[in-house]
Amino acid sequence: MKKITFIFVFLFSILAMSQNPYITITVAQDESGQFTSIQKAINSLRDLGPGEALIKIKSGIYKEKIVIPSSKHQITLEGENKETTIITNDDYSGKLNPATNEKLTTFDSYTVLIVGDDIKISNLTIQNTWCNKGQAVSLHVEGDRFVMRDSKLLGCQDTLYTAKDNSRQYYENCYIEGTTDFIFGQATAVFKNCEIRSLSDSYITASATSKENEFGFVFFDCHLTAKEGVSKVFLGRPWRPFAKTVFLNTTMGNHILPEGWNPWKGDKMFPEKEKTTLYAEFGSKGEGANPDKRVEWSHQLSKKEIKKYTIENIFKKTTSWNPSK
């Protein structure tokens, strides 16, 4: 009996250890933690570490340009409070980079870049303060199995870049704002119970899903809102020919145009993208829900068709992953 009890306690201890971070670091501007810089805290972690590393970030405004490289994985950035824990920068496409004497592009204008796999962010605000003068990314994600919860993404054009065909990303209880194409990219990304706020008359999404990927952007139970005076917003336009964007049980304000979707005419390299895109809805609610007036090349899904839209099935690729559990 004692032997069985010992084995049980041993196995329980191993399980507990596997669920706890192998290291916890605190970042605080008042020097009460190990670091005052988030990037320095990330740099201090062992490459390809043995388990989850937890970085707790105390309230403050951190003006940093942060990179989590591919050699750093299983990192959680946990803010003290999303309203008071803010990572901010103001780079933009066309800005001169003094380090290289070359102009930045959209893809390196980010405030935070995630390349490593299994990164989690919670209770944080990530912001790019450059607005109305071109592309300026707040969050750029390339890594696989990325999770963001209870956080805010602030910016204008191109706020969130969901990069890479093989990247799976999950956003829950988040607030995301912007002007034009402020959720864009190639990744398979799920947005659950998020507020998506338009700051100008323009487009919310610009998906670039590959032909091989069955799912692109999927919105569950989200709320589409708008700044006062904004009244002409499209749900999306296709950045590339096989763009896939689906809104399920989403509440849409009256700023959403009746036609809903835009074909992005005038793209000479990729003409007639509306013939190959998948733009669809099910159970849209609110003044912006106009199923009978949507463009003819979009879809209103049936109850049978939405059965495949489960978190587990959407993220099922070479390996299974269900971050909602």
Using one digit for the tens of pLDDT, what is the confidence trace for 90-145? 999 999 998 899 999 999 999 999 999 999 999 999 999 999 788 999 999 999 99
Q: What is the pLDDT of residues 139-159, one digit of tens each?
A: 999 999 999 999 999 999 999
* Cα dihedral across residues 134, 152, 280, 278: positive or negative: positive
- Does the pLDDT at position 14 exceed 50? no
Prediction pTM value: 0.94
pLDDT of residue 99: 86
pLDDT of residue 319: 85
Degrees, nearest 5: CA angle 223-225-190: 40
Q: How confident is the model at residue 9 (pLDDT cuts 50, 70, 90)?
A: very low
CA distance to 66, 78, 213, 264, per residue, from 151 (Å): 17, 10, 27, 30
Q: Where are the domains of the chain?
A: 21-314
Mean of pLDDT values over 240-249: 98
**Residues marked as catalytic:** 158, 181
**Edge to edge, what strands does the sheet with 23-27 contain?**
23-27, 53-57, 75-79, 120-122, 146-149, 168-172, 188-192, 217-220, 244-248, 278-282, 299-300
- Does the pLDDT at position 10 exceed 60? no
Mean of pLDDT values over 15-22: 68
What class has domain 21-314?
mainly beta
pLDDT of residue 18: 52
Mean of all residue pLDDT scores within the chain: 94
- Does the pLDDT at position 8 exceed 50? no
Q: What is the pLDDT of residues 282-317, one digit of tens each?
A: 999 999 999 999 999 999 999 999 999 999 999 998
Q: How far apart are CA 141 and CA 61, in angstroms?
A: 21
Q: How confident is the model at residue 266 (pLDDT cuts 50, 70, 90)?
A: confident
- 261: Cβ contacts below 8 Å, ≥ 6 apart: 234, 235, 236, 237, 274, 279, 294, 295, 297, 298
pLDDT of residue 318: 75
What percent of the chain has a predicted confidence (pLDDT) above 90? 90
Q: How far apart are CA 38 and CA 32, in angstroms?
A: 14
Mean of pLDDT values over 64-86: 98
Torsion of CA 304, 280, 228, 85, to 10 degrees: 80
pLDDT of residue 64: 98
